[in-house]
A and B are shown apart, each in its own frame.
Chain A
Amino acid sequence: MNRTSLICGIAMLSLAAPALAEKSDRAFVEQMRDQIMAARSEPGVARAGAAELAEAERRLPELAKAMDDNEAQDARATRDGINALIEAARVRARLAQTETTARPAAYTPPPVPTKRVKRVAYRPAKPKTGCTLASR
């Protein structure tokens, strides 16, 4: 009885182990994808490091394949490569930000105020009583 349950347990574990490994592989790839997305959401990185981030994203299937093949060395190399590309994107963003702040601001003339003319109908002034040239 005990032996049977032990054999059953081992058999179940051996069946579940590859599935669990596959799940953790996928989780790791998703984690790397999240890291790329996080870098993309940082200010200026999506724009200045677009090429590097796209390249990092293209390497995700390679990472998944290396992990599926249980090639730890290849998976490590791909992971390091992706991290380097994310860092390169950040460096490019910092460089772009420095260039923008260092550049002198271009002269922009102040806005010309528009003259507002109030149009009113002509009305002759009222003659003042008791104050005429003749009365002086």
Chain B
Amino acid sequence: MKKSKMTMLLTTALLAAPSTALASDKARARDAIAEADARIETAWAAGAGERAPGVQGKAAAALDRARHQLRKSHEHHAYYAAREADAYAQLALAMAQSGR
């Protein structure tokens, strides 16, 4: 009886582990997207749309790609694309501030 209980617990844990990992991947991708989105907004507010339209466009495109990947449940790709968007947004922000 005790042994079967242990087996059941172990099975539950084994079954739950991948789903927990998936959930954390999704959360990580969502966080990265939110961070990139906020930074792109900041860059827009600083005038990156006028002073660094190319870089700002790259940031927006990477963010779109990240959202698309997340919709397709490709959390890893979504995370990396969001990080790229964040980096481009940082560059756009610096360029906007240097153009003042």
| Interface residues in chain A, defined as those with a beta carbon under 8 Å from any beta carbon in chain B | 52, 55, 59, 62, 66, 71, 73-74, 77-78, 80-82, 84-85, 87-88, 91-92, 94-95, 98
Q: Which secondary structure dominates where chain B touches chain A?
A: helix
Bound-state Cα–Cα, A55 to B95, Å: 17
Stretch at the interface among B8-16, B17-25, B79-87: B79-87
CB pair B94–A95 under 8 Å, yes or no, is: yes
Contact of B62 among A71, A77, A95, A98 (CB under 8 A): A77
The chain A residue sitting closest to B93, CB to CB, is: A88
CB pair A62–B80 under 8 Å, yes or no, is: yes
Number of interface residues of B (CB under 8 A): 18
CB pair A74–B98 under 8 Å, yes or no, is: no
Q: List residues 57-81 of chain B with CB under 8 A from any CB of chain A.
A: 62, 76-77, 80-81
Q: 11 A-B pairs, CB-CB below 8 angstroms?
A: A52-B94, A74-B80, A81-B88, A82-B87, A84-B55, A88-B90, A88-B95, A91-B95, A91-B98, A92-B94, A98-B98
